[in-house]
Amino acid sequence: MNASAPQTQDLDLARSRAQDDVRELRSKISHLGEDEIGMMLTRARSHYAWQDKPVTDAQLKQIYDITKMGSTSMNCCPARFVFVKSAEGKERLVKALKPTNVQKVMKAPVTAIIAFDKEFWKELPRLFPHEDRRGHFRDKEKHSYVTAFRNSTLQGGYFMMAARAIGLDTGPLSGFSNEIVDEEFFAGTTLASNFLCNVGYADESALFQRLPRFEFEDVCSFA
């Protein structure tokens, strides 16, 4: 148990408040409407062209403040975000891109590098203070990597939903070299890149038809 761990009485009070908060929210709204669900997923699209309209630092902070509240295992929060906005930053990032993705990134107001800290577990006393879980990951490089990758991917999904929730559009990219991104942006650190995500106000004129999806019966089953 950590020396800084909450006392039982404080922990009970914190749990009670957390439970009351969820109950209060659900008493106000039980589900999103069709338009809201459409904005988040069913009618949302990945975008490749962008209006010449800036995304502010305040908006990026708001996106992060929403994203950080998404669940991760043991509240490990391994994702790290680099917001590439400057011409210099874009030129560094272009080195890693496949040719078809260069203009997508260069014309986007912001390209977020969704990365993760391979040594995220060192922050667990801060993020999971009621029990020391560092021993689950210390000297277990493969387990730490898998946990960090899985949960940062999850946080990347939260990031996209958060951006859409505040009225922005997203364009995730995987056509790049992780090795080059890591050399350019994370050399000498414990960070590694997961995927890229353009953020901005979309130019819808570049969209093509929505591609097919599997039906429930195609990919779902019961056990």
Same domain membership, residue 37 and residue 76? no
| pTM to 2 decimal places | 0.93
Nearest-angstrom CA–CA distance, 6 and 106: 48
Which residue, 172, 158, 160, is CA-closest to 67? 158
Question: What total number of domains does the chain contain?
Answer: 2
State pLDDT tens for residues 35-79.
999 999 999 999 999 999 999 999 999 999 999 999 999 999 999
**CATH number for the domain including 74?**
3.40.109.10
Same domain membership, residue 164 and residue 98? yes
Say what the pLDDT of residue 194 is: 98
Spell out where the chain has E strands: 79-84, 110-117, 169-173, 191-200
